[in-house]
């Protein structure tokens, strides 16, 4: 190892031991901030996943007039298919609809027999290409479909998708804002801890400068101290977040959607914040 790096590491860890109480506050603050950040990131990933799941299920239900004749279906199908973004259009006759309902009810299908006549209208099931599933395009498609002759109602689950998309968008903004707050507060705390450490070791700094140590070597132990604080804070945050996530998933069920890289990201983020914080505090001292 390069003698400078060895010195930086040795003295940095010595500083960390000396300032145990102060360093713990720094580490704790970084850890708590990053846990919040991690939880929000995970929520974003999951909600994003939920939207994708919903989108896969997206289909437009075009309800037709009761008197719509099956003979007219191929002509309407052609018109529907001509619309932009439509992948497939399937005609569902009144009888088919009833059959599907019977299938869906399973053991309770008997209730259908009570009915005098089939109450279900004929309909078209319209599937849309993934790329055209934005709330805006779905709305415009819905409007065009409603103008076709024989169409009574168009149902495309719009409010859900829109609400979810808005939520994800809001969450991403919250993530960014939270990320900035976490970064600023961590940098602030680390820089103050390191500033105090550096002031307490003014004698060492003075001697080093006097005997001809380079500025980078004078700074290095403090940078090590700050980075290690960030590393520890990030690691604790990653562990706590991973544990919380594991517990939540096993209670609520479902597939984990978060990749392990997210936890590594928390550790790296913590370390970088520690490094920046300590660099910040040394500008005026060394």
Partner 1 sequence: MIELNHVHKVYRGDWVALNDVSFAIGKGEFAFIVGPSGAGKSTLLRLLYIEERPTNGTVVVVGFDTARIKREEIPLLRRKLGVVFQDVKLLPDRNAYENVAFALEVTGVRRSEVRSRALDALGAVGMRHKWDALPYQLSAGEQQKVALARAIAREPVVLLADEPTGNIDEDGAREIVGLLADINARGTAVVMATHDFSIVEKTSSRVIYLDSGEIRGEERSVGGIGHR
Residues that bind partner 1 (CB under 8 A): 3-4, 6-7, 203-204, 206-215, 217-218
Longest CA–CA separation in the chain, Å: 103
User: At closest approach, how far in Å is the CB of 198 from partner 1?
Assistant: 15
Structure tokens at 89: 């259009």
Structure tokens at 97: 């609809």
Residues facing 123 on adjacent strands: 63, 92
Q: Which is nearer to partner 1, 189 or 282 (CB)?
A: 282
User: At closest approach, how far in Å is the CB of 221 from partner 1?
Assistant: 10
Q: Which is nearer to partner 1, 234 or 279 (CB)?
A: 279
Question: How many CB atoms are located within 10 Å of the residue 70 CB?
Answer: 12
Q: Which is nearer to partner 1, 88 or 214 (CB)?
A: 214
User: At closest approach, how far in Å is the CB of 5 from partner 1?
Assistant: 12
Q: Measured between alpha carbons, how far is 185 from 191 in angstroms, rounded to an integer? A: 10
Q: Measured between alpha carbons, how far is 129 from 134 in angstroms, rounded to an integer? A: 10
User: At closest approach, how far in Å is the CB of 48 from partner 1?
Assistant: 49
Q: Measured between alpha carbons, how far is 234 from 274 in angstroms, rounded to an integer? A: 10
Q: Which is nearer to partner 1, 125 or 283 (CB)?
A: 283
User: At closest approach, how far in Å is the CB of 206 from partner 1?
Assistant: 7
Q: Which is nearer to partner 1, 116 or 203 (CB)?
A: 203
Q: What would you report as the CA-atom Rg of the chain, rounded to the nearest whole angstrom?
A: 31
């Amino acid at each position: 190892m390069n003698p400078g790096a060895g010195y930086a590491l040795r003295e940095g860890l010595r500083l960390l031991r000396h300032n145990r109480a102060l360093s713990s506050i720094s580490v704790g603050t970084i850890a708590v901030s990053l846990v919040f950040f991690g939880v929000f990131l995970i929520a974003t990933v999951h909600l994003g996943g939920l939207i994708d799941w919903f989108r896969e299920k997206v289909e437009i239900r075009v309800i037709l007039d009761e008197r719509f004749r099956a003979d007219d279906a191929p002509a309407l199908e052609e018109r529907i298919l001509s619309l932009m973004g439509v992948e497939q259009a399937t005609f569902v006759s009144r009888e088919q609809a009833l059959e599907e309902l019977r299938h869906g009810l399973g053991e309770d299908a008997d209730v259908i027999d009570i009915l005098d006549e089939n109450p279900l209208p004929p309909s078209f099931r319209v599937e849309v290409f993934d790329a055209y599933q934005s709330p805006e395009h779905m709305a415009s498609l819905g409007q065009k479909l409603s103008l076709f002759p024989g169409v009574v109602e168009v149902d495309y689950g719009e409010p859900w998708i829109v609400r979810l998309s808005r939520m994800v968008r809001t969450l991403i903004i919250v993530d960014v804002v939270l990320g900035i707050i976490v970064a600023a507060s961590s940098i602030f705390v680390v820089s103050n801890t390191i500033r105090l450490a550096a002031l307490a070791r003014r004698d060492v700094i003075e001697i080093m400068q006097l005997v001809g140590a380079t500025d980078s070597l004078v700074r290095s132990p403090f940078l090590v101290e700050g980075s290690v604080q960030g590393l520890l804070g990030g690691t604790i945050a990653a562990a706590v977040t991973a544990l919380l996530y594991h517990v939540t998933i096993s209670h609520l069920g479902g597939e984990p959607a978060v990749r392990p890289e997210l936890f590594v990201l928390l550790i790296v983020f913590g370390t970088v914040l520690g490094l920046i914080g300590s660099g910040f505090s040394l500008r005026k001292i060394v």
